[in-house]
Amino acid sequence: MQTLSDLNVPTMEASTDVQLSLRQVSKVFPGKRGLFSRSSPDFVAIDDISLDIEHNTFVTIIGPSGCGKSTLLNIISGLSVASTGTVTMDNQPITGPGPDRGMVFQNYALMPWMTVADNIKFAVETVYPSLSAAQLKQIVSENIELVDLVGAERKHPHELSGGMRQRVGIARALAINPKVLLMDEPFGALDALTRGYLQEEIERIWEQDRKTVIMITHSIDEALLLSDKIVMMTRGPAAKIAQILDVPFPRPRNRTAVEHHPAYDGLRTEMEAHLYRETRYVEQARIQPENRSTNTDTP
Amino acid sequence: MAVSPSLPHSSTAKPSFQLNENLKAALVFLLSLGLFLLFWEVGANAKWFAKGMPTASKTIEELIWWVTNPFFDNGPNDLGIGWNLLISLRRVAIGYVAASLIAVPLGILIGMSKVAFKAFNPYVQLLKPISPLAWLPLGLYIFRDSEKTGVFIIMISSIWPTLVNTAFGVANVSDDYLNVSKTLGASRMRTIFKVIIPAALPNIISGLRISMGIAWLVIVAAEMLLGTGLGYFIWNEWNNLYIPNILVAIFIIGMVGLILDQIFAYLENLVSFGRS
């Protein structure tokens, strides 16, 4: 039962600089209810998640696989609708996808028929249709410069490496000047070296205007290097927030300085303990037949 | 000793190996063609084949004559092969363009809605396997005109592959592209023209390619019953019982089909951008 007092919570906390607020958000994927076929039970992906994100913070969401991280991000992006609960940004409820939230996809999602410049231009032109050609060109080249892709403007995505493609993806998301940047495992498909390089690139780019970022990751090191806050989730189904860690490392950061910070090992151990424990349960649940119904992966 | 200078060259440079492969294929092709023509020539002279089978040299001689004298007009039963080819191509072009103008937009509409896809699928599946010639009497009855009937048959038979492929391509546009479009807040029209159609273009072009192949197959068969064009040329030469010209026409039909197909293969390549 949603009461008025629940809805009032974000407004009350607005004074403490809350940009994005989730209140008791749950997502239930309805089971199949065929006329003749056997019906499958409903799947509760995330259950009763409340989270406040302040302006200009870098937040990572980390959790065992299948815990509904992507579901949560999709709800914030508006691509998916929460079954219960509310999501508000700057006190306005989120009702659908919109250009105030830029999205970076795990598999880049670049249009293969567009060049690097055209991919970015398509985004800017869609969001700001009234811009002149010169202004468009200016924004596109600025963002290509930002992600260090000068010279690749006229190439098509299939001519680029995975790391370069994701830099285009990041440039496209930033070019529309969103209030929040959402990244769904942006480096998940990259090799370890490219990933490390792009993490440092993200840190460099982020320092420029410290736009709020919500990033999903599987990597403890990545979370520690980049974030101000780490949201650790429990295993699915019905995943919840287990703990929110504050990351105290000074900015601007670099990998070596972060790894030598006195708080680093403690945070790392805490995260490992939680994530490995949760992952162990997930793995075991896949083996034990009585838990078979729980191993459905969330989309 | 004579081999040694070429050894380092062939072992280091990959392009030269590629060239060798193509060169080998060309040699095998030419050799097999030579053997085939030789067998034909000898066999025809020795009367191994059916009675009246022309020799290879006679057929090639006719081919050269027809190709060097393509445009003459001594009435419908003695028309240069160039004119006949243009007549056939014109019919194919009109019928094919009309079919494509219907099939591509309709395919896009059907592909965008799951309900429409399922609802219209039975029609397509029923009409697709019908032999184009089965439409001929119906066409003649409706239009009372051989020209219009020819175009009608081309249209009705080349509509289906384009329609099916377009609908399939549009229905299977990656969710990633659509999600990008949604998160940017793109309008429905912008999504259709900037995302869905370009994403489905490889499927649309391969549908058009299959349709073109079918149109070219159908026109020859249809023209045997219609009065002009390459199909009629063959039929006329059959009535004259002059086999070399039939063989010449078969060769030209094959060559034109090959060229048309290659044009579409080129277009497919042009819109693929690394997608298979």
The CATH number assigned to the domain holding A277 equals 3.40.50.300
- Asked if the structure places residue B138 within a domain, the reply is yes
Domain that holds residue A260: 4-90+211-295
Assigned domain for A20 exists: yes
Residue A85 C-beta-side C-alpha neighbours within 13 Å: 23
| Domain match, B32 and B113 both | no
Chain A residues near residue B182 by CB distance under 8 angstroms: 78-79, 96-97
**Reported ipTM:** 0.84
The interface residues of chain B toward chain A in range 243-272, judged by CB-CB distance below 8 A, are 271
Amino acid identity of residue B149, one-letter, is T
| A131 found inside a domain | no
Query: Taking CB atoms and an 8 Å limit, are A79 and B179 in contact across chains?
Result: yes
Evaluate whether residue B137 is within a structural domain: yes
Which chain B positions have a beta carbon within 8 Å of A157's beta carbon? 273-274
Asked if B216 and B109 sit in the same domain, the reply is: yes
Residue A52 located in a structural domain: yes
Is residue A138 in some structural domain? no
Tell me how far the alpha carbon of residue A159 is from its chain's centroid. 27
Residues of B with Cβ-Cβ distance to A105 under 8 angstroms: 176, 179-180
Q: Which pLDDT score is estimated for A16?
A: 63
Whether A126 sits inside 8 A of B184 (CB atoms) is: yes
Q: Compute the 3-state secondary structure of chain B and give helix, strand, coil in percent, each to the nearest 5.
A: 80, 0, 20
Write the pLDDT tens digit of every residue in A215-272.
Answer: 999 899 999 999 999 999 998 788 889 899 999 999 889 899 999 999 999 999 999 9
Count of domains for chain A? 1
Which of residues B81 and B89 earns the better pLDDT score? B89
Q: Do B47 and B164 lie in a common domain?
A: no
pLDDT of residue B22: 86
Instruction: Check if B186 contacts A (Cβ < 8 Å).
Output: yes
**Domain-embedded: residue A171:** no
Residues 171-210 of A with CB under 8 A from B: 176
**Domain assignment present for A238:** yes
Residue A125 lies in a domain: no
The yes-or-no verdict on residue A58 having pLDDT over 90 is yes
Which residue among B176, B194, B274 places its CB closest to the CB of A109?
Answer: B176
Instruction: Return the structure tokens found at B91.
Output: 């019919």
Decide if B73 is inside a domain.
Answer: no
Q: Say whether both B164 and B90 belong to one domain.
A: yes
C-beta atoms of B185 and A109 within 8 A: no
Asked if B170 and B33 sit in the same domain, the reply is no
Residue A1 has pLDDT above 50, yes or no: no
The verdict on residue A177 lying in a domain is no
User: Could you tell me if A103 lies within 8 Å of chain B, comparing CB atoms?
Assistant: yes
Same domain, residue pair B46 and B85: no
B90 touching A, CB under 8 A? no
| Count of domains forming chain B | 2
Are B195 and B116 in a shared domain? Answer: yes
Residues B49 and B90 in one domain: no
Q: What is the pTM of this model?
A: 0.82
Tell me: pLDDT of A101 over 90. Answer: yes
Return the CATH number at B202: 1.10.3720.10
Q: Give the domain range for residue B21.
A: 6-53
**Chain B residue with minimum CA distance to A101:** B183
Residues B159 and B200 in one domain: yes
pLDDT in tens, B127-155: 888 888 888 888 889 988 888 888 999 99
* In a domain? residue B178: yes
**Predicted local confidence at residue A3, as pLDDT:** 44
Of B179, B194, B275, the CB nearest to A109: B179
